[in-house]
Chain A
Amino acid sequence: MKYCVLVAYVPDTASIIKIGGAGNRIDEGGIKWIISPYDEFALEEAIRLKEARGGEVTVITYGPDRGSTGLRECLARGADRAVHVMGGEATFGDAFAIARVLAAAVQKAGPFDLILCGIKGVGSDQSLVGAMVAELLDVPHVSGVVKLEVGEGSLTAQRDVEGGTEVFTAPLPCLVAAHKGLNEPRYPSLKGIMAAKKIPIETWKPADLGLDEAALGGAEATSRWLKLELPAAKAGGTILNGEEDPAGAARELARLLRHEAKAI
């Protein structure tokens, strides 16, 4: 079995986000980068499948230089092969452009029996790339998977929906987008980190995949980020002093709830 995992290297959710660039990007200074947590579930599942039934796990990322650090971590956890498609500045945030690059990379690196990714990338949270890659590759996909069984030539995947679960079967090859709960990702071991150092990371450019990144991010872009804004700072609370005039304070509270907060 050949498994492919698509990973994004994203800002740690614990980072303090500042707006930078032309107001449509985050300021990358001082940001700590991590493998997107949903992608960790995808990777863990692939490694478990490999451990249980043999095979090979390839990880692919599309992004700037730092992405290699993320790939190294994937190798340290047990992936066998890593492909870094360099770039991403021009196509930043455009899910369709990213999906085109990834689909082309999967095609070039493959064939694969199973392609896994996270249900969404922390940061842009669009949940689009997995489905788009599947469409571009013309394979079925199941998204938001919390339980997965892979058989001969097909898989059974479970996803949580409002008030219940859905169970799907799909033929292989297939793309699965992992959700929280699929597994508990492991920590890389020191042996794994040592071994990862010895595996060369293959670096490709979009041009190697027959794609023109400038066009992807320019004329062919399907969406563009215009502006980012931080959530408005929380206003301080209002304290009504009720010691002297409890009835008055209660009236004022009711008024505020009705007219200001519009809660009643």
Chain B
Amino acid sequence: MAYQADMRDVLFQLFEWLPTRELLAHERFSEWDPDSVQMVLQEALKLSQEVLGPANVEGDRVGARWENGKVYLPPSFHDAYQKIKEGGWIGCINNPEYGGMGLPEVIGTAVNEFFFGSNISLSLTALLTRGAGYLVEKFGTDEMRQLFCERMYSGQWAGTMCLTEPQAGSDVGASKTRAIKQPNGRYLIQGEKIFITSGDQDLTENIIHAVLARTPDAEPGTKGLSLFVVPKYRVNPDGSLGEFNDVACSNIEHKLGIHGSPTCSLVFGQNDACEGFLLGQEQEGMKLMFYMMNPARIEVGLQGAALAAAAYQAALAYAKTRLQGRHYSKLKDADAPQVAIIEHPDVRRMLFTSNAYVHAMRALLMQTSYYVDMSRLSEGEEAERYQSYVDVLTPICKAWASDWGFRVTEWCLQVFGGYGYTMEYPAEQYLRDAKIASIYEGTNGIQALDFVARKLPLKGGKPIRDLLGKAEETFKKLRNDPQLMEPAWMLAAALKQIEDLSKGLGKRPDAMMVVLLNSVPLLDMVGDVLGAHFLLEQAIVAREKLAAIFAAKGVDASDKKACRAVIEDDGEAAFYHNKVQLAIHFAYRVLPGVTAKAVAIRAGEMAPMEAVL
């Protein structure tokens, strides 16, 4: 089944919900306008369907191969990489001064939904290259910028992110890789990193590693880490490649999914010949690394959302063609013909819940990306405010979208029945490929700790209050609305639960333990509320557009039958109608869970701690 995407909703979210038009009018984006951006999206989708998607299966079945210290990727990956490189897609959101294409983040998010959804394994290389290039751009010397940035943003060279070591996974501060300063100002790097995505590959002639390492008398923990740029091949002053820089790939992992993405063990400096270049100052490596990690966390959330979206499209198409069982109106008629399973209420529920989450995840990621853009376009206090929104939303994007994204791939597999469990159909690969998103870039458990310990209290709690305040606004708009009042009141009830917890928890003697035990549910609750708020906000827009369609067709909005006929005949009308239904469904099915979690948290249930494990 070929990769399919919901271009209609992507365009809705960009141009009918978010003020992307205004964003594009800013002089920073003068190279772009709504028309050219729409062409960008069309072409990104076309590449995803015709090139990245077809390579995705080979990536899974053949996968990355390690042989004699080198990693090889399947031929289709070479062809696909070449095409996204030539098209300028790798650095699509990066700085044009260094060969990037300067698209807004929010457009990058839309493009990457297609790229990730059609081929996450290959796209990870691009993700890491953008991020590592950005570290050099921001913290490197002029010389480093000239040598590395354009070559990375153009995809000629790739990048990686090297944090993890056997004893240092979530606990990055336990890293042991050493960096010893040389008389020439460079550093000798020595140590072993594991699980390094694209740590070696045969797509690019050079690989630029961003490595966290410790200088000899540095402090223990994350505070003592410094950040280095370590090329696989040394780079001559003219940009040509010099000798091998003693970065060896000792093996790759065999794993559940993303088989086309090599997960490498790297040995730095086993022959004392690995040199690295310091970024920023010694011992501020962790702080600098977050400039790569934070955008990557949003993109890993997008991985969950994109694979969920792809899985949904596949399940939807399958459900329309698979004949099984009789129509619910003819259950007693043994001679009734088999119907497509999309007729069965339970299948519709699985599909619709999946799609509701997909729309909500897309909204969360687009909204966050839009705030990233605004934080760069504005100045002073306003810029800080947008940045604080991004800070709070980053762990929610990462954890909420990767967790629910994975679950959506599971529901979609279920729609396929037994066929979903086989490799004949893409459902099982989407599920396997999605799982990793809750683990890397900081596990979702670590995201939740970051959320409760750092992001909720940020700036005295103002950013989270602002963000939830916007949900409150949505409630107020709909509190008396005949169609959406119940979902609106459910949103209000969920908001109240969060507010009560935020006021009450701190005062408890067992506050610390309650929060540590419930950090993941707490993050989830906020994600659920934001998701419902976004969908209801979008439903308001959609309803106006639907009314306009009825009016244009001369249909009286109170004539249910006539309206239904329009919805069934007109694709646009159906889209807007569905947007409203998705918001209703999401509110009813998801928001009560917020209250349920709050009950458990408020009760101070401690069984996992009481138990002897």
Contacts and interface: CB of A to CB of B under 8 A. Distances in A.
B99 to A, nearest CB: 10
A197 B88 contact: no
Given A29-B571, A73-B39, A196-B36, A189 B86 contact: yes
Interface in A64-101: 69, 72-73, 76
A232 interface: no
A190 interface: yes
Contacts of A188: 39, 43, 87
A187 B43 contact: yes
B27 interface: no
A195 to B, nearest CB: 9
Interface in A171-219: 187-191, 193-194, 196-197
B33 A197 contact: yes
Q: Is the interface of A mostly helix, strand, loop or mixed?
A: helix
Contacts of B446: none
B88 A187 contact: no
A163 interface: no
A194 B39 CA distance: 10
B145 to A, nearest CB: 21
Contacts of A164: none
Given A72-B39, A73-B39, A187 B33 contact: no
B39 A76 contact: yes
B40 A30 contact: no
Nearest to B571: A30
Nearest to B49: A14
Contact of A197 (B35, B47, B87, B89): B35
B481 interface: no
Given A29-B571, A197-B32, A189 B39 contact: no
Given A187-B87, A188-B87, A193 B43 contact: yes
B570 interface: yes
Contacts of B103: 190
Interface in B38-76: 39-40, 43, 46-47, 51
Nearest to A72: B39
B47 A187 contact: yes
A189 B91 CA distance: 12
B88 A191 contact: yes
Contacts of A197: 31-33, 35-36
Interface size class of B (residues with CB under 8 A): 20 to 34
Interface residues of A, number: 15
Nearest to B575: A30
A56 to B, nearest CB: 22
Contacts of B40: 190, 193
A194 B87 CA distance: 12
Contacts of B230: none
B31 A194 contact: yes
Q: Which of B35, B36, B40, B571 counts the most chain A CB atoms within 10 A?
A: B36
Interface string B81-93: 0010011110010
Contacts of A69: 35, 39
B98 to A, nearest CB: 14
A88 B83 CA distance: 36
A191 B43 contact: no
Contacts of B35: 69, 72, 197
Contacts of B39: 69, 72-73, 76, 188, 193, 196
A190 B46 contact: no
Contacts of B51: 187
Interface string A21-52: 00000000110000000000000000000000
Contacts of A30: 570-572
A149 B307 CA distance: 45
Nearest to B337: A236
A72 B46 CA distance: 16
Contacts of A29: 570-572
Nearest to B43: A188
Contacts of A196: 36, 39
Contact of B87 (A72, A73, A189): A189
B571 A190 contact: no
Given A29-B571, A72-B39, A76-B39, A189 B33 contact: no
Contacts of B36: 72, 193-194, 196-197
Contacts of B89: 190
B207 interface: no
B101 interface: yes
Contacts of B46: 187
A76 B51 CA distance: 19
A194 B33 contact: no
Given A30-B571, A196-B36, A189 B31 contact: no
Contacts of A194: 31-32, 36, 101
B83 to A, nearest CB: 6
A29 B31 CA distance: 31
A163 B33 CA distance: 50
A220 B40 CA distance: 41
Contacts of A191: 88, 101
Contacts of A187: 43, 46-47, 51, 83, 87
A76 B43 CA distance: 11
Interface in B544-579: 570-572
Contacts of A72: 35-36, 39
A73 to B, nearest CB: 6
Interface in A129-184: none
Q: Which of B32, B39, B51, B83 counts the most chain A CB atoms within 10 A?
A: B39
A194 B40 CA distance: 9
Nearest to B33: A197
Q: Which of A29, A76, A188 counts the most chain B CB atoms within 10 A?
A: A188
A30 B572 CA distance: 8
Contacts of A189: 86-88
Interface in B332-355: none
A82 B289 CA distance: 47
B336 to A, nearest CB: 14
A196 B39 CA distance: 11
A190 B93 CA distance: 11
B92 A190 contact: yes
B353 to A, nearest CB: 26
Nearest to B51: A187
Interface in B399-450: none
A197 B36 CA distance: 7
B10 to A, nearest CB: 14
Nearest to A30: B571
Contacts of A73: 39
A197 B535 CA distance: 34
20 contacts: A29-B570, A29-B571, A29-B572, A69-B35, A72-B35, A72-B39, A187-B46, A187-B83, A188-B43, A189-B86, A189-B87, A190-B92, A193-B36, A193-B39, A193-B40, A194-B32, A196-B36, A196-B39, A197-B32, A197-B33
Interface of A: 29-30, 69, 72-73, 76, 187-191, 193-194, 196-197
Given A30-B571, A69-B35, A187-B87, 4 more contacts: A76-B43, A194-B32, A194-B36, A197-B32
Interface of B: 31-33, 35-36, 39-40, 43, 46-47, 51, 83, 86-89, 92, 101, 103, 570-572
**4 shortest interchain CB distances as A-B pairs:** A190-B88, A30-B571, A189-B87, A190-B101
